[in-house]
Amino acid sequence: MDKIYLWFLLLISCSCSHTKEKVSNDMDSSLCIIDVTCEYPVEKVNIHDVADVEYVPLETTRNSLLASDCSAFRISDDYITVASGVDNGNIFFFNRKGRYLWTFNRRGGSAEEYSL
């Protein structure tokens, strides 16, 4: 019986030993390291060199006047949505050319309502 305890103790001690494994990550070699203590020259970058930019003027009608504190803009394939003002809860819908379509306001806490 003592031999069983001895083997069991030996097995436990071997399984608990810590071995260091060298982990190599291929991404580490491709990471760009930037020295934040170095002084870099300031360069102007044209936004069109970095991303595709499309300016869409939104139609201004009596029903589509936006508050100055627009909280969220979302652009999908078909619509531009603007959440205008945290107090009134209006969500304005425009097509991708900027034409006003409709306003949605179902702010609240019950079924079929939303909160911002």
The one-character DSSP state at 70 is E
Low-confidence ranges of the chain (pLDDT < 70): 1-2, 5-8, 11, 14-29, 85-87, 116
- Would you state the torsion angle of the CA atoms of residues 54, 57, 59, 64, taken in this order, to the nearest 10 degrees? 90
Q: Give CA–CA dist 38/105, Å, rounded.
A: 51
